[in-house]
Amino acid sequence: MTRLTSRSGWDIHDAVYTRELAISNRENGYRDIVAQVDLSTYRRIPWENNVPFFLVSFLDPVSLTPLCVDPRGVLRLTCERVAELGLKCIAGVEYEYFNFKGIRQEKVTFRMLTYNCRDGRVCFSKKFTGLQPLTPGMHGYSLLRTQLNQAFFNELFDESIKFQIEIEGHHTETGPGVLETALSYTSASRMADNATLFKFLAKSIGMKHGVIPSFMAKPWGNALSHDM
């Protein structure tokens, strides 16, 4: 187990929450939170030289019970309660997501600091506004549109399988640059992990091919609603 300190009181931009959390705040000194490695989540990241990968569960530092703000812990407790009734939670997830053309450049500036792109990967400008869809038009279930970006489309599928995320269906959907990926059903806890990690995978593979996958339901006001 490891302990997390001030970061447990940060938001996604590494800034302290304007409304502080009850579990970790200035008054309690941004107390430690226990992060327990879940060995059952072991897998390897194929596009990162097969480096080992694990997820963690966040526990209260005193009682060592799952934190109420940890969705994995809440789901685990729910599945355990269902199991006590002699039942099993299974789930499936289907993503419909927009894909945009990325901007290739050698450097990216973030918070006034300039970073070199590692291994020639894709960096983005435009502040993520006015992005161009990967393909024009609607073209749901098209056999042609997937060939326009075949390397990206195929690698999404292939790397998912290597990353132990089984896929039931993978094709275009209605909307400019929209793909649909249905993850094969499995236990609810495993599916929750797979659903989160597929987004990580799609964005990682997208950087390699100059593509920005977006899992927002409606990137434009007049767009069809998509996502999960």
Confidence at residue 182, expressed as pLDDT on a 0 to 100 scale: 98
59-96 pLDDT, tens digit per residue, is 998 899 999 889 999 999 999 999 999 999 999 999 99
d(CA 167, CA 156): 10
Phi, psi of 108 (to 5 degrees): -135, 140
Assess contact for 87 and 80: CB atoms under 8 A. Answer: no
Confidence at residue 127, expressed as pLDDT on a 0 to 100 scale: 63
> Other CB atoms closer than 10 Å to residue 83's CB: what's the count?
11
Confidence at residue 118, expressed as pLDDT on a 0 to 100 scale: 41
Task: Show Cβ contacts of residue 114 under 8 Å, excluding neighbours closer than 6 positions.
Answer: 107, 108
Q: Where in the chain is the domain with CATH 3.30.590.10?
A: 91-214
Residue among 39, 53, 27, 203 nearest 128 (CA)? 203
**pLDDT at residue 187 is higher than 60:** yes
Q: What is the pTM of this model?
A: 0.84
102-132 pLDDT, tens digit per residue, is 755 445 444 444 444 443 334 445 566 778 8
Return the CATH fold of 91-214.
Creatine Kinase; Chain A, domain 2 (3.30.590)
Q: CA angle at residue 51 from 200 to 124, to 5 degrees?
A: 40
The string of DSSP codes covering 44-103 is EEGGGTTEEEEEEEEE-TTT-PBPTT-HHHHHHHHHHHHHHTT---EEEEEEEEEEEE-B
User: pLDDT higher for 194 or 33?
Assistant: 194
Residue among 196, 170, 199 nearest 184 (CA)? 170
- Mean residue pLDDT of the chain comes to 85
